[in-house]
Amino acid sequence: MIPCGNKVSISQKISSSEEKKRLKQLLESIRPRNYGIIVRTVAEGKTASVLDKELRGLVKKFENSLQDLSGSKTPKLVLSEINRTAVIVRDILDSSVEGIYVNDRETYYDIKDYVQGIAPEMEKIIKQEKGDVPIFEKYDVSSQLKKGFGRTVSFGKQGYLVIEHTEACHVIDVNSGNRNKSADQATNALTTNMAAAEEIARQLRLRDMGGIIIVDFIDMSNGEHRKTVY
């Protein structure tokens, strides 16, 4: 919510143009005057009553903050941002998330309370881990982090990326790992390049890579295949 605004902005992560249109029309109809709205991905598919309830809660929180500010002595904290854990959950939570596993009791209840407020139907995916095995070991996170940040990153059955960093740019080389020549080599190259493109996108986000990025895909002689990868 944006006080003193009048614009409704929809998350670009919502791919359906029809859903974007529905949300925009819906929120325009319930938006209080002089309040702008930023619609996050988690709003996708939500009913009018759910969105209206959350919007009213945000307006009430803002108005209460103004009342609290009136006549108070400075300096004074009027309203603080939600904690870092809730920020992460807010940014990643959507229908594709199947589970959130937490090994800290206080953090577990913080996340649970936050999700109850924004997406109560997803509260059931939050699980508290109570075992003796470290949570990163149990879900193989540590080894994946080591692999994910190494110079070489495997993907698919045999493919792998070689990622090099220089002062000027980042260079990513795509390799199939398959040295056997076959009659269907063009299809193999396409399949490997498509899988590599997905993994590269994941690596860019994981490593927070920006600037000039050069990707050397496996050569493809078929023009349609090149268009598909593009």
106-141 tens-digit pLDDT: 899 888 888 887 788 888 999 998 888 888 888 888
Place of tokens 């997905």: 198
What mean pLDDT do residues 203-211 have?
85
Per-residue pLDDT averaged across 24-37, rounded? 88
Residue 178 has pLDDT above 80, yes or no: no
Closest CA relative to residue 35, chosen from 64, 2, 63, 57: 2
Q: What is the secondary structure of 147-193 as a DSSP string?
A: HHTSSEEEETTTEEEEEEE-SS-EEEEEE-------TTHHHHHHHHH
How many Å is the maximal CA-CA distance in the chain? 80
Average pLDDT over all residues of the chain: 84
pTM: 0.51
Give the pairing type, strands 8-10 and 35-39: parallel
Q: Residue 156 pLDDT > 60, yes or no?
A: yes
User: What kind and span of H or E run contains 215?
Assistant: strand 213-216
Q: pLDDT band at residue 215, thresholds of 50, 70 and 90? A: very high
For residue 179, name the pLDDT band (cuts at 50, 70, 90): low
- Look at strands 170-175 and 213-216 and give their pairing: parallel
